[in-house]
Structure 1
Amino acid sequence: MVIIKRYILIGSLIISGGVNGQTINTPDHKNEKTAFQIAAPWNEAYDVRSDVAIVYGVNDAGGKFEERVKGWRDKGYKVHFMTGIAWGQYQDYFLGEYDGKTHLDEGQVERDGDTIWHGKNVPYTVPSDNFLKYLKTHLKRAIDAGVSAIHLEEPEFWARAGYSGAFKKEWKRYYGFDWKPQHESPEATYQSSKLKYDLYYNALKECFAYVKSYSKSVGKDVKCYVPTHSLINYSSWRIVSPEASLASIKDVDGYIAQVWTGTSREPVYFNGVEKERVFENAFLEYGSMISMIQPTGKKIFLLTDPIEDWPRTWDDYKKNYQATFTAKLLYPTVADYEVMPWPNRIYLGKFKMEGSDEKQPIAPAYAMQMQVMVNSLNEIPVSNNKLNGSHGMGVLVSNSMMFQRFPTHEGYEDPQLSNFYGMAMPLLKRGVPIETVHMENLLHENALKNIKVLIMSYSNMKPLNEAYHTELADWVKKGGVLIYYGRDNDPFQEVNEWWNTKGKNYKAPSEDLFEKLNIADTSEFIKSGKGWVSINRHDPKELVLTKNADNVLINKVKEAYEVKANATKLAFKNNFLLHRGPYIIAAVLNENDDQTPLVIKGPVVDLFDPELPVLREKTVKPGEQAYLYNINAATGVAPKVLATAARVYNEEVKNQIYTFTVKSPANTVNVMRIKLPQKPIEISMRNGDNEIPIDSNKWDAESKTVLLKFKNLSKGIDVKIRW
């Protein structure tokens, strides 16, 4: 007899503690590979069957928080807690129920005096000491309810805010002098953003210190995560957040990378054209998030969403879900995922189809496809395989990208964050798997370990610490190749910072870097130690705002990579391709001179097709993505479920009989592609005493797989296959 342990949940650990000293079930932190966030109570209609249910908000979904936590735990989930740190259902605080005082004056306020709202009586908040004291009551309640992790999401301070009395008070406390309106000078803008950044850094630091201290006092080890948008998106949307700096907080255990269609569809410039480039943007966003935490060794979940916050059509959702989903799978070092937020919105929501004004529930075919994709995330492994293409190309980014976004001052424009995209998009569009490197991580010894050529600019960001220059100079002198772009004439070059105070008198921070490198200002490559530097006096945005303007960058990068870094030939192509275990992930780029489709030889199962067809080859056209299962990878391993729109439990093989249980949201259809030693002679399905009808049973002799279709049940269906 063979017991197959794939997909079996690890049991809970029993430890003392909890409410009034009661013994509670606290799950361990192993095998928390997949998760979803949900405010609503458990319901069979959206019983997704990931490892973790992240229960949202103490006051959300009508309250009854402890009941919601227990409801999800009773169904076999490990349970986390998530709530916003900048906003949330905190009306009891803002309207005076908490301490008898109203606190609406703690909202983030724009120049015209308007509060920025997240909902009725829910302002984006200036995180005061009193607000954090209030928030800790929610954290304590969650820990007492038995959650194993706390997620404080979206530490967001709008760049256009900063005019409230609460903010002015924090300014005086932080700087020691009276508040300055940020619209009056670049200096005030920069100072305002630094304060916003610091406020949420310290807010999270304080809250997580409380979580660790209190949970330890009751015999628990509660993890702390920050679900947050990428630095790229926050910079683009003109929001200030601590981002990379959070990973340095000892009590932060990791992040959720909040990347989805809504963030990735932000239009960007390339080759003189501004438009949505969802796959490319998602690829850069996920890369930014992974770069942010990878040197620390902490955990990161990658999120995507089968729909998005903004009402669109089901067709739009499906197309862009495939694009973002593919982008995240192209990072083989990460295999932990938030598979979706708000499953009740997906399974019970109604949206339009293309060409129709009538709102409709999710189509059975899209639900099947989505569930196949989601359940594959329980299986997909971390891989040592690399994405095809030339590796070792990096673009330097910094938290200070957020500091120059609003308001716009004379002498500075950066449309659609083009100073960043000007360095990244020309290479990405030519099939180079460009990486982002966070300046704040340069003090970690592995931050530049695999980078051969680094492109950077101070046109859209500034170094917050002189030590970063010391690390960059050291990397170059040991053999790295640095390409610098920037006119260094924007007004933020002159803000009062370390490069022009306390005895330093540089007109621009780059002057300090070049001095440490001991080089002159020239566009030709200059030797510095064992490495090379090229200084190019154009802002990176100029490379994408005008058609065909990026050729100068491409030529420079080729020389840097092939000659100065002595690497292999810099490969330009129109696709990305990655093998992760039995999974094949591919994307073919449009807006590329090469319009040749990518042909992937089979036999493969197409996981983006709800019928799970077996293909002898798969053709992927420019602008398309593919997600495939390589059947040959299952050779010698039979029987095996290759793909399914449900989660599989308790697999067992005995005497030519294969049994298992499948669970998935009720009122959906399960499709399964199963590899068997030979054609089955009997297939039965039951739930207790009830026989479950099989809607489709098709044998494919060439691949030795059977395709089954039947209605899903949340409570589970026992499947028996005999051959």
Structure 2
Amino acid sequence: MNTRNSFLAALLLLAMPAFGQKEKTSFQIAEKWRPEYDVRADVAIMYGMDSTFHTRAQSWKEKGYTIQFMTGIAWGEYQDYFKGNFDGKTHYEEGQKDVSGNIIWHGPEVPYIVPTETYINYIKSHVKKAIDEGVTAVYLEEPEFWAFGGYEAPFKKAWQDYYGFKWMPQDSTAEATYLSSKLKYQMFFHALKEVFVYVKDYSKGKVRCFVPTHSLLNYASWHIVSPEASLAQLPGMDGYIAQVWTGTSRVPNYFNGVRKERVFENAYLEYNTLYSMIAPTKKQVYFLTDPIEDGVRSWDDYKVNYQATFTAKLLYPKVDKYEVMPWPNRIYLGKFKMEGSDEAQPISPAYATQMQVMVNSLNDMPLSDNKVSGTQGIGILLGNSIMFQRFPTHKGYEDPQLSNWYGMVLPLLKRGIPVQTIHMENLGFADALKDIRVLIMSYADMKPFAATVHEQLAAWVRKGGVLVYEGRDDDPFQEVQEWWNTKGNHYKAASEDLFKQLGIKATTGIAHPVGRGTVYVVRKDPKEQVMEAGQDQAFVDLIKEAYVRSGGKNWKMKNSFYLERGPFTIAAVMDEHADTTALTIKEPVIDLFDPSLPVLSQKVIRPGEQAYLYALNRKPLGKPAVLCAAARVTAVNNAGRKFSFTATGPLLTNNVMRVSLPVKPVKVTEGIEYAWDKGSKTLLLKFPNSPDGVKVAIAY
């Protein structure tokens, strides 16, 4: 390149907004840049490796984005592998198969795969090309093995190699089911380990590695097996993307005898399980939300549930990195129906504006030491083996909609108690139970992976923890040949080893003192508390007693959650609660769920609703600043009595923004609609977005 061209290129780079340097917000995309869906996050995660990758990546890089790479580890557009172009052999026989021998398809010519060594090498070849293109991170998404798969030859061979005895059809016994899922879990753990080691070695440690994954709750609900929590301990593993959205959170569950969708509550718990996987490890997690979903619904449905999931993710103040959306082209260019209409239509200007206000606010979302309102310190134990008991049913024992887990959680969450998930795989970390006063657990829905789990729990109780164990321990998975009944152990149920470690006889209804702590045993399965109406009060009373015994002094039940993060207020009010009163925020706020960005003297949130607000009293009134906007704001300058900035957003969408000023402006850039609000000292601006940026100058 000659000197003149180098100079021009340098000028162009200086003029570019430095969107991608923070890596706080991202999106995944398989398409080239287009102005209609230039959402202006920091990172464009390029999906899939093919002959167009360089062109696609370059189109986003030229717009100022950091470029990263994502591909599926369990499925993908890998026809060259399946048809023999990779190594001269066809590989359709490596597709996961059901009991009838049918391949389980993700899409046309896209089977879910058994991760053989050959396939792992194929994925490495994709990763190598991405690293050569200069990506800064690699994402291997959705390590998924269907619970009803496992009837294909490669899996049968892996069984023989791993267990040392002949494959057993997983539908034959509870033991076969459990062992099958355990192996599926191990196979994808191994696959990710191998690829991540390769990434670190080939990139000389410069490229980071992440796993975008559904929550453990969703995978268990959908009968999928995945490594999940154990991945946090993998060398070379830098973190997760928490893939939570309406499609995962709308899975129905039981509470008070009613089976239905509870999107906010489920989203809150899904994010909880994914956050707790990394909390004691100090690794990173990005929270994802989707303004629409894979299932074809109406725009109205998408909007209501987007607000619910978005609110849920913001109730985790120790997370401030987000994948703001997957597939922006699907959102901005897709067509779906409105309620009461049979005609598919594109996203409405109002919803596009609202969504962009929400998305752009994430660039300013701070970490916070504040806690969600409510009784703190109550944890629910969870383990990867909750995925191992889901399919099929054995000896008539069922756990409908994971009710043995939700039975411990929803009675508390619905009463405004922000329960925390504790992963048994993380108990070895010093901080795993640091803030937990009462830990609730059951082996009706999962089993301990090793005796160390019980050693760690017993040590925690002796130091003053209060443990509540629920379960009849009569499910057929108690009989699986595992560590508690092999190699010299002869326990009929896994919990018997726990009680031995604690030094107690598991008598129900008694508070068993253990060291400085206490153990309660309840001989019924948690599902019994939610599958019939009015069956959870005794459980809630017991948890209150346990909390008080732990030294807790702030037991409080309510129908809402509330959190402040910098100037942002996040709130939700539960329905299905005896208390049907609304939550009123009694201070001036900007309603960030309203695309007109109104200034309200107070906000009323009714049962079943959520709110996302900008609290004006937490920002110095009158100081020149952009408070919220449906565009990315850069090049902010305040000199003399002139305030200016550049607002950038997708083509064909409308920007609405509120700007704080000391006094009413005397001049605003021509062509921009504006209105002054004297009480809040804010200026409302409206104008069409542009991916090239709109320069705004305000004199006051």
Is TM > 0.5 for Structure 1 vs Structure 2?
yes
CA distance in 1: counterparts of 2:20 and 2:160, whole angstroms: 42
> Which residue matches 1:296?
281
Moved segments of 4+, more than 2 Å: 27-30
Shift of 1:526: 0.7
Shift of 1:33: 0.7
Deviations 1:609-638 (A, max 9, x none): 000000000000000000000111111561
Does the 8 A contact of 2:20 with 2:65 survive in 1? no
CA distance in 2: counterparts of 1:520 and 1:569, whole angstroms: 31
CA distance in 2: counterparts of 1:28 and 1:43, whole angstroms: 16
- Counterparts of 1:118-133 in structure 2, within 5 Å, are 118-133=106-121
Residue among 258, 263, 272 paired with 2:243: 258
Deviations 1:307-333 (A, max 9, x none): 000000000000000000000001101
CA distance in 2: counterparts of 1:28 and 1:186, whole angstroms: 52
Residue among 387, 395, 400 paired with 2:385: 400
Does the 8 A contact of 1:647 with 1:662 survive in 2? yes
SS in 2 for 1:377: helix
Deviations 1:54-88 (A, max 9, x none): 000013xxx41011111111110111100000000
> Which residue matches 1:697?
674
CA distance in 2: counterparts of 1:173 and 1:72, whole angstroms: 45
Deviations 1:454-498 (A, max 9, x none): 100000100001111111000000000000000001010011111
Deviations 1:642-665 (A, max 9, x none): 110000001010011011111110
Change (3 A) 1:28 1:338: closer
> Which residue matches 1:22?
none
Residue among 624, 627, 633 paired with 1:648: 633
Does the 8 A contact of 1:186 with 1:492 survive in 2? yes
CA distance in 2: counterparts of 1:392 and 1:32, whole angstroms: 32
CA distance in 2: counterparts of 1:394 and 1:225, whole angstroms: 26
Matched, 1:206 2:197: no
Matched, 1:713 2:690: yes
CA distance in 2: counterparts of 1:75 and 1:484, whole angstroms: 55
TM-score of the superposed pair, with normalisation by structure 2: 0.97
Matched, 1:72 2:60: yes
In structure 2, stretches of 5+ residues that fail to align are 1-10
CA distance in 1: counterparts of 2:505 and 2:489, whole angstroms: 19
Q: Which range moves more in the overlay, 165-174 or 373-382? A: 165-174
> Which residue matches 2:27?
36
SS in 1 for 2:203: helix
CA distance in 1: counterparts of 2:651 and 2:136, whole angstroms: 27
Deviations 1:419-476 (A, max 9, x none): 0000000000000001110000001110000000010000010000111111100000
SS in 2 for 1:527: strand
Does the 8 A contact of 1:301 with 1:336 survive in 2? yes
- Counterparts of 1:392-541 in structure 2, within 5 Å, are 392-523=377-508, 524-541=510-527
CA distance in 2: counterparts of 1:12 and 1:134, whole angstroms: 38
CA distance in 1: counterparts of 2:286 and 2:251, whole angstroms: 22
Deviations 1:237-266 (A, max 9, x none): 110000000000011000000000000000
TM-score of the superposed pair, with normalisation by structure 1: 0.94
Shift of 1:29: 9.5
Residue identity opposite 1:55 in structure 2: M
Residue identity opposite 1:355 in structure 2: G
Residue identity opposite 1:255 in structure 2: Y
> Which residue matches 1:238?
223
Shift of 1:673: 0.6
Residue among 512, 533, 537 paired with 1:551: 537
Residue identity opposite 2:474 in structure 1: N
Q: Which range moves more in the overlay, 519-528 or 583-592? A: 519-528
Residue identity opposite 1:525 in structure 2: A
Matched, 1:86 2:63: no
Residue among 145, 152, 165 paired with 1:177: 165
> Which residue matches 2:45?
54
SS in 1 for 2:388: helix
Does the 8 A contact of 1:84 with 1:155 survive in 2? yes
SS in 2 for 1:317: helix
> Which residue matches 2:5?
none
CA distance in 2: counterparts of 1:678 and 1:641, whole angstroms: 15
Deviations 1:543-602 (A, max 9, x none): 00010100110110010002x111014110000000000000000000000000000012
Matched, 1:325 2:313: no
CA distance in 1: counterparts of 2:202 and 2:692, whole angstroms: 36
Matched, 1:313 2:307: no
Shift of 1:170: 1.0
> Which residue matches 1:630?
615
SS in 2 for 1:409: coil
- Counterparts of 1:108-147 in structure 2, within 5 Å, are 108-147=96-135
In structure 1, stretches of 5+ residues that fail to align are 1-10, 14-26, 686-692
Shift of 1:705: 0.5
Shift of 1:95: 1.1
SS in 2 for 1:697: strand
Deviations 1:517-552 (A, max 9, x none): 111112211100000001111000000001010011
CA distance in 2: counterparts of 1:183 and 1:492, whole angstroms: 13
> Which residue matches 1:20?
none
SS in 2 for 1:390: coil
CA distance in 2: counterparts of 1:376 and 1:110, whole angstroms: 45
Does the 8 A contact of 2:660 with 2:681 survive in 1? yes
> Which residue matches 1:6?
none
> Which residue matches 2:8?
none
CA distance in 2: counterparts of 1:270 and 1:175, whole angstroms: 40
Q: Which range moves more in the overlay, 629-638 or 231-240? A: 629-638
Aligned length: 686
Shift of 1:12: 14
Does the 8 A contact of 1:375 with 1:647 survive in 2? yes
Change (3 A) 1:659 1:30: closer
Residue identity opposite 2:688 in structure 1: K
CA distance in 1: counterparts of 2:389 and 2:307, whole angstroms: 33
CA distance in 1: counterparts of 2:156 and 2:568, whole angstroms: 54
Change (3 A) 1:348 1:28: closer
Does the 8 A contact of 1:411 with 1:490 survive in 2? no
Shift of 1:399: 0.1
Does the 8 A contact of 2:227 with 2:384 survive in 1? yes
Residue identity opposite 1:431 in structure 2: G
Does the 8 A contact of 2:142 with 2:214 survive in 1? yes
CA distance in 2: counterparts of 1:578 and 1:33, whole angstroms: 21
Residue identity opposite 2:86 in structure 1: Y
CA distance in 1: counterparts of 2:370 and 2:174, whole angstroms: 45
Does the 8 A contact of 1:411 with 1:491 survive in 2? no
CA distance in 2: counterparts of 1:378 and 1:401, whole angstroms: 35
Shift of 1:411: 3.8
Does the 8 A contact of 2:285 with 2:321 survive in 1? yes
CA distance in 1: counterparts of 2:218 and 2:99, whole angstroms: 23
CA distance in 1: counterparts of 2:437 and 2:622, whole angstroms: 41
SS in 1 for 2:588: strand
Shift of 1:175: 1.0
Shift of 1:30: 6.3
Residue among 546, 561, 567 paired with 1:576: 561
Change (3 A) 1:399 1:619: same
CA distance in 2: counterparts of 1:569 and 1:550, whole angstroms: 21
